[in-house]
Structure 1
Amino acid sequence: MSDEKLEGVAFPAWSKAGARRRELANVIRSVTRRHEPPVDFGSNLKAGLGAVWGMSMVAYLAVLTGLPLLLAPLGATAALLFGQPSSPLSQPVNIMGGYLIGTIACELAFFAFPGEWVATAGAVGAAIVVMRALRVTHPPAGALPIVGFNGMVHGTQLFLVGLLSSVILIALALVVHRIPPRREYPIGNK
């Protein structure tokens, strides 16, 4: 009987346990495979400093205005804006459109669904459907209904806070990505 080898580990070809081990090894390998290319230190540092600058400006404006501008989804927006600026999910239309749709879905679900947990789930699902249909998907904006139903901010204030914070981050991303090493942002802007 021949043995099949899987990266230095031999399993008998006829063994059911060996087949299960191979299948498990393949699943683990596919789940842990990284799809992002390596990035140089300068680009990584610039992304991190850009996010620090962006979130600091939002926080500073929050202190000046008394508005709760530091929403949890903004951390994910900053990660996309400064870390993955060439992603379609990071583009200005996706960010602003996503935040608008997330807010509208939150408000409509508040009136359409009977319980808070049902309304929250419905709003997140509806936001995803509409963002995808309009081709303005921005995953962090899918969390806005959760923010809205947790009672920190909601209604018009949620929209204004999300819009103002995202505009600040987008404006700073436009500046940061023109600093060497330069990145094209927004994409298709040549």
Structure 2
Amino acid sequence: MGMQIKASHHYNSMMQSLPKTSRYFHSFSPNASKAFNRSYKWVILEKSLGFKPIKESSTRRRRRREHGTVVASSSNVARPFWDAWKPEKAFYVPSLSDILWPSAGAFAAMAILGMMDQILAPKGVSMTIAPLGAVCAVLLTTPSSPAARKYNMFMAQIGCAAIGVLALFLFGPGWLARNAGLAASMAFMICTHSTHPPAASMPILFIDSAKLHQLNFGYALFPGATGCILLCLIQEIVRYLKDNVKF
């Protein structure tokens, strides 16, 4: 405590010894104040302690930081394998409404898509495709994740579906078209910054479903992108219910 009071006294006396303009600049310029404190800290310590303190060199600081980084990174090497088999640490316990409303939204979404299937049955086209189930899970359970962004969803759905049509046209039905369609879809999502995992199954679905071949490039908009519009509406309803109807 006595050393702190003595250092403070030396600092105040040094400030009084500065010209008036310097004190004014020091008081009203935050950056200059920080620089001033760094510059005169060692002078104050030297006068209060009676000897010159040893500064830590920049090389030593860099090595210390690198050493700490190496230790931290090496300690994380063994963790990913075990952590992948453990549940993610939850920051809160979900309430009954947090569980019920997304589940009810998924039920309503598939029910509406099923009703649309009855209307489209004469054409042999179905709206209840597997990728829309995955989209429903992403939108209702993790609405703040990057995969749930509207740009990512629609860009990936439309682009990957079109890639599936093109892959079938170039390679015909078979393993080569599926492999090429999936690889091209991954490259497309990376290039457009529109990562949306459910869309990666759109090319494979088109190639393996003979009933969808009649849609040709219309498959880029239907049923994937069209179904996503319905799911976005249901997501907004579920979000409103979760925020306003809690139990």
TM-score, normalised on structure 2? 0.58
Selected match of 1:29 from 61, 70, 82? 82
Deviation at 1:36, TM superposition (A): 6.0
Please provide the CA RMSD for this pair.
2.1
CA distance in 2 between counterparts of 1:179 and 1:74 reads 22
Paired residue secondary structure (2:195): coil
Q: Which amino acid aligns with 1:153?
A: L
CA–CA separation in structure 2 for the residues paired with 1:83 and 1:181: 14
Are 2:223 and 1:161 equivalent residues in the alignment? yes
DSSP-derived class of the 2:84 partner: helix
* Paired amino acid for 2:235: A
Spell out the pairing of 1:134-173 with structure 2 (5 A cutoff): 134-151=192-209, 152-154=211-213, 155-159=216-220, 160-173=222-235
Q: Tell me the residue number matched to 2:130.
A: 72
Aligned to 1:178: 240
Asked if the contact 1:58/1:69 (under 8 Å) is kept, the reply is yes
Alpha-carbon distance in structure 2 between the residues aligned to 1:59 and 1:36: 36
Q: Report the CA distance shift for 1:60/1:110 in structure 2 as closer, same or farther (over 3 A).
A: same
TM-score with structure 1 setting the length: 0.74
Does the 8 A contact of 1:43 with 1:181 survive in 2? no
How many percent of aligned residue pairs carry the same amino acid? 23
Distance 1:107 1:153 in 2: 10
Bigger strand fraction: 1
The alignment partner of 1:136 has SS state of: coil
Q: Which residue of 1 aligns with 2:114?
A: 59
Q: Kindly tell me: are residues 39 and 128 of structure 1, through their superposed partners in 2, closer, same or farther at Cα, counting changes over 3 Å?
A: farther
| Contact kept? 1:42, 1:181, Cα under 8 Å | no
- Using the alignment, how far apart are the partners of 2:167 and 2:99 within structure 1? 39
In structure 2, what is the equivalent of residue 86 of structure 1? 144
Distance of 2:217 and 2:89 partners within structure 1: 38
Q: Which runs of 5+ in 2 are unaligned?
A: 1-77
SS of the counterpart of 1:39? coil
Partner residue, 2:163: 105
Tell me the alpha carbon deviations over residues 8-49 of structure 1, each in whole angstroms, 9 at most, x when there is no partner: xxxxxxxxxxxxxxxxx9665222122363533321211111
- Higher relative contact order (Cα pairs below 8 Å, separated by 6+ residues): 1
Structure 1 gap segments, 5+ residues each = 1-24, 183-190
2: CA distance between counterparts of 1:36 and 1:70? 33
Q: How many equivalent pairs are there?
A: 158
Structure of greater Rg: 2
SS at match of 1:177: helix
